[in-house]
């Protein structure tokens, strides 16, 4: 099928690249002409594992192209994926102006009927507004636009893997023909009948993806409800961690045992510095706003947000307690990205930690495998070290802020010889307190003694 993708951010590029790998002919566009020029020159403007490989293969097969002319992209595809940003407004409400702009462009530029698919995360009932905008701005009253919602459940860092091996594909539609078109788009993935470039065509057997056909409102709600529930799980684990500290229990033991109950599940129960990134904080706010706008009290989500905001303060309390005076101290910050395997620093808890440390007069020495270039632009006063051992050299404390495997596997025997003081404050519970103390470190983490 010929598919158009509008918006070449994380979601749009992964969607475009993976659908091209699945055998479709894809044309991508973006309002950022620079980004399009980079893509046309074969450069990938974002770091996402495997994305460069998939884009290169799609390009070689002639199945992906880029244009800065949105009209060309719109006219070319039978189905159009909208993958533009929906950032939060000051109030927390999602800013849908980019979706509105795209709707108007589609209405004005299309010459044939189109299936318009929302991929961006949007509040429930956006599909209805999209449908209205398409009809209102269309120059040809005979032209029909069908709208569908197909939320993405991709995690940054594993987005390509997630796209090829989804748990569920949710399609919110108004009619059977839209559902049939979306099934056709995803058929190669559902049937695993394409050459998966990640596994050289032989994907390991896994659970079959559920293909769920719902109403548009339900599909939109599924996305916000899923992200908010995961955020809630993390905040729940964080409150359990606080309780463990007061009572004298171990949060890892508690959450592990909880997670063995399949009704609860073990994932997203890691206590620590809390969640960041461009999805959870924003989606949580948008969902709270949506519920309030229809008079539904979603207080548990407000509590989820409140608990998460307190995590930085809880971490800094530990830093103060351990270091006493922060001013003038050499503080090594291990990890800047909002989570491992990404260069994304948007709403990263680590950045808030760095900001507070600098404000207090600490000398911050940071290390992160991917996120240093972006952080440098925000915090030029920090010294940056490719090698984490260099960041630890002469440090009065090591603060672990992101759960990179590189840090999980550090040789602390070696590190302790480099540090001025053997002090670790672990914001991600990466190490065993017993082992670290055995090595001679003063060690603090979340929810453990
Ligand atoms: C999240 C969802 O997991 C995806 O399913 C969704 O598609 C995506 O948002 C989106 O809406 O686009 P992502 O933001 O990439 O994906 O990151 P996650 O892996 O979910 O992690 C979010 C944050 O929670 C990170 O800061 C992570 O460190 C933190 N986290 C995660 C914890 O603090 N504890 C945990 O147990 C798990």
Question: What is the residue-wise DSSP string for 257-279?
Answer: HHHTSTTT-STT---SS---SSS
Report which ligand 1 atom has the smallest distance to the Cα of 277: 14
Beta carbons of 124 and 217 less than 8 angstroms apart: yes
Query: Which atom, in ligand 1's list, is nearest to the CA of 344?
Result: 15
Whether the per-residue pLDDT at 340 is higher than 80: the answer is yes
To test the ligand 1 pocket, which listed residue (149, 227, 447) has its Cβ within 8 A of the most ligand atoms? 227
Residue owning the nearest CA to atom 5 of ligand 1: 153
Calculate what percentage of the chain has a pLDDT beyond 70. Answer: 100
- The residues pairing with 400 across neighbouring beta strands, listed in sequence order, are 334, 426
Is residue 206 scored above 80 in pLDDT? no
Question: Cα–Cα distance between 50 and 254 in angstroms, integer?
Answer: 35
pLDDT-based confidence at 196, cuts 50/70/90? Answer: confident
Ligand 1 nearest-atom number relative to CA 340:
28
Q: Please report where in the chains the tokens 């049937």 appear, as a residue.
A: 191
Q: How far apart are CA 323 and CA 382, in angstroms?
A: 19
Atom of ligand 1 minimally distant from the CA of 403: 28
H or E element, residue 134: helix 126-137
Mean pLDDT of 417-425: 98
- Can you give the pLDDT at residue 46? 87
**Beta bridge mates, 151:** none
The best mutation among 18, 122, 155 to test binding of ligand 1, ranked by most ligand atoms within 8 Å of the C-beta, falls on: 155
Residues assigned a catalytic role: 279
Q: Per residue in 58-102, pLDDT tens?
A: 999 999 999 999 999 999 999 999 999 999 999 989 999 999 999
Gap between the Cα atoms of 45 and 62, Å rounded = 20
Compute, in angstroms, the gap from residue 181 CA to the centroid of ligand 1. 30
* pLDDT range class, residue 192, cuts 50, 70, 90: confident
Interatomic CA distance for residues 295 and 119, integer angstroms: 27
Beta-ladder partners of 79: 3, 115
Give me ligand 1 centre to Cα 146, in Å. Answer: 31
Residue among 51, 154, 256 to mutate when testing ligand 1 (max atoms within 8 A of CB): 154
Which pTM does this prediction carry? 0.94
Interval between CA 25 and ligand 1 midpoint (Å): 30
pLDDT at 47: 86
DSSP notation for 226-257: HHHHHHHHHHHHHHHHHHHHHHT--HHHHHHH
Q: How far is the CA of 155 from the centre of ligand 1 (A)?
A: 6
CB of 85 closer than 8 Å to CB of 286: no
Q: What is the pLDDT of residue 207?
A: 75
């Amino acid at each position: 099928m010929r598919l158009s993708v509008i918006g070449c951010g994380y979601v749009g590029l992964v969607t475009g690249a993976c659908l091209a790998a699945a055998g479709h002919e894809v044309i991508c566009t973006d309002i950022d002409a620079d980004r399009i020029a980079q893509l046309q020159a074969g450069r990938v403007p974002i770091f996402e594992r495997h994305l460069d490989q998939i884009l290169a293969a799609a390009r070689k097969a002639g199945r992906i192209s880029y244009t800065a002319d949105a009209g060309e992209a719109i006219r070319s595809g039978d189905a159009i994926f909208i993958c533009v940003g929906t950032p939060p407004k000051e109030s927390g409400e999602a800013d849908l102006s980019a979706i509105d702009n795209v709707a108007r462009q589609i209405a004005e530029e299309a010459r044939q009927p189109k299936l318009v698919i929302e991929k961006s995360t949007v509040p429930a009932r956006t599909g209805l507004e999209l449908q209205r905008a398409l009809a209102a701005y269309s120059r040809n009253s005979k032209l029909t636009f069908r709208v569908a919602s197909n939320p993405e459940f991709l995690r940054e860092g594993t987005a390509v893997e997630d796209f090829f091996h989804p748990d569920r594909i949710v399609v919110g539609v108004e009619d059977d023909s839209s559902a049939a078109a979306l099934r056709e788009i995803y058929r190669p993935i559902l049937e695993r009948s394409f050459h998966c470039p990640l596994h050289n065509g032989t994907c390991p057997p896994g659970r079959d993806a559920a293909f769920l056909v719902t109403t548009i409102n339900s599909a939109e709600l599924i996305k916000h409800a899923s992200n908010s529930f995961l955020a809630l799980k993390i905040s729940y684990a964080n409150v359990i961690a606080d309780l463990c500290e007061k009572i004298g229990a171990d949060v890892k033991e508690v959450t592990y045992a909880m997670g063995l109950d399949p009704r609860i599940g073990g994932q997203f129960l890691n206590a620590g510095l809390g969640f960041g990134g461009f999805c959870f904080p924003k989606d949580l706010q948008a969902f709270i706003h949506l519920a309030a706008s229809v008079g539904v009290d979603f207080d548990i989500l407000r509590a989820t947000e409140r608990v998460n905001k307190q995590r930085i303060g809880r971490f800094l309390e530990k830093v103060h307690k351990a270091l006493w005076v922060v001013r003038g101290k050499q503080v090594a910050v291990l990890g800047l990205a909002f989570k491992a395997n990404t260069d994304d620093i948007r709403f990263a808890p680590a950045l808030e930690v760095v900001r507070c440390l600098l404000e207090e007069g600490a000398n911050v020495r940071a290390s992160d495998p991917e996120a240093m270039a972006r952080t440098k632009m925000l915090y030029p006063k920090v010294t940056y070290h490719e090698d984490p051992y260099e960041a630890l050299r002469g440090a009065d404390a090591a603060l672990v802020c992101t759960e990179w495997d590189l840090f999980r596997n550090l040789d602390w025997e070696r590190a302790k010889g480099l540090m001025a003081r053997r002090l670790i404050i672990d914001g991600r519970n990466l190490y065993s307190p017993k082992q670290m103390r055995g090595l001679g470190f003063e060690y603090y983490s979340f929810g453990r003694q």
